[in-house]
């Protein structure tokens, strides 16, 4: 069966510090991978998605970047965190299918607080 | 901006009652999905309805889709305290490759 892991679960970082959040998927090959951010009590904002190794699409201009060094690994990074980067970060995967969007499977999330 | 807009933003009902949540969207879609999120957790997929379908059932869940009105509804029958969560609709576009656009969600509270 497929599983998705995210770490760390919680993170408190000072403004200006770097960030690295990792997401890995097991039990599937060539998944689509996604990074979302969720503000408190709000919906999900798509930050990045990837349909293959080294292929990253950015949805909104921001202080963050993403990389996919391996097929089932997706990393969210920042060189210098801002207060506005605080939030709940969710990684998700789906099966690639041409012509449509499949259901997505979410990781447990990382709660990031920037002080 | 988010395409899906859920209505109401918050809903509080008594256990055993039915809960209905609505979702509206703006552009043409390939499918519409509903997800559930317990507080502080990741989202869990509930049901997917394709653009050529009008109604779908899964256990106590019933989803309808009206593409002419660009709207969908999620009905949870015989609600339980464990149904307390936030519910999100998400739309998959015809073009735009593999992305979903999520709404802001409905916060559902089931009172025992």
- Residue B96 pLDDT exceeds 60: no
Between chains, do A96 and B98 touch, taking CB under 8 Å as contact?
Answer: yes
Q: Which residues of B touch A32 (CB under 8 A)?
A: 98
- Confirm if A74 and A65 have CB atoms less than 8 A apart: no
Q: Tell me which of A71 and A1 has the higher pLDDT.
A: A71
| Cβ(B12)–Cβ(B111) below 8 Å | yes
| Residue B7 token pair | 């209505």
Strand B85-93, strand B100-102: pairing: antiparallel
Instruction: Look at the block and give the residue holding tokens 């609505």.
Output: B22
Query: What's the pLDDT tens digit per position in B47-91?
Result: 999 999 999 999 999 999 999 999 999 999 999 999 999 999 999
Q: How confident is the model at residue B15 (pLDDT cuts 50, 70, 90)?
A: very high
Chain A residues interacting with chain B (CB cutoff of 8 angstroms): 32, 36, 41-46, 49, 51, 88, 90, 92, 94, 96-97, 99-109, 111
CA atoms within 13 A on the CB side of B34: 27
Nearest CB to B104: which of A43, A46, A111? A43
Chain B environment of A105 (Cβ under 8 Å): 45
Q: What is the mean pLDDT of residues A61-84?
A: 94
DSSP calls for B58-105: ETTEEEEEETTTTEEEEEE-S--GGG-EEEEEEEEESSSSS-EEE---
Residue B2 has pLDDT above 60, yes or no: no
Alpha-carbon dihedral sign for residues A49, A50, A51, A57: positive
Classify the phi-psi angles of A87: left when phi > 0, otherwise alpha if psi is within -120 to 50, otherwise beta. left
- pLDDT, mean of residues B97-109: 87
Separation between Cα atoms, residue B29 and residue A100, nearest integer Å = 9
The pLDDT score that the predictor gives to residue A62 is 78
Name the DSSP letter for residue B103: -
Structure tokens at B83: 């149904």
């Amino acid at each position: 069966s497929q599983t998705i892991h995210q770490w760390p679960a919680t993170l408190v970082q000072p403004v200006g510090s770097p960030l690295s959040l990792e997401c890995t998927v097991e039990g599937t090959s060539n998944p689509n991978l996604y990074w979302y951010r969720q503000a408190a009590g709000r919906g999900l904002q798509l930050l990045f998605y990837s349909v293959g190794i080294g292929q990253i699409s950015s949805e909104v201009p921001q202080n963050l970047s993403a990389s996919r060094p391996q097929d089932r690994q997706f990393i969210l990074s920042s060189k210098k965190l801002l207060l506005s980067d605080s939030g709940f970060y969710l990684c998700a995967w789906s099966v690639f299918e041409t012509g449509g969007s499949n259901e997505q499977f979410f990781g447990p999330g990382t709660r990031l607080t920037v002080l | 901006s988010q395409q899906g807009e859920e209505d109401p933003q918050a809903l509080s009902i008594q256990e055993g009652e039915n809960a209905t949540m609505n979702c509206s969207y703006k552009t043409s879609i390939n499918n519409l999905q509903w997800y559930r999120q317990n507080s502080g957790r990741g989202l869990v997929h509930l049901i997917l309805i394709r653009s050529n379908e009008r109604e779908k059932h899964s256990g106590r869940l019933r989803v309808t889709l009206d593409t002419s009105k660009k709207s969908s509804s999620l009905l949870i029958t015989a609600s339980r305290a464990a149904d307390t969560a936030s519910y999100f609709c998400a739309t998959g576009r015809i073009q735009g490759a593999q992305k979903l656009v999520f709404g802001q969600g409905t916060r559902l509270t089931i009172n025992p």
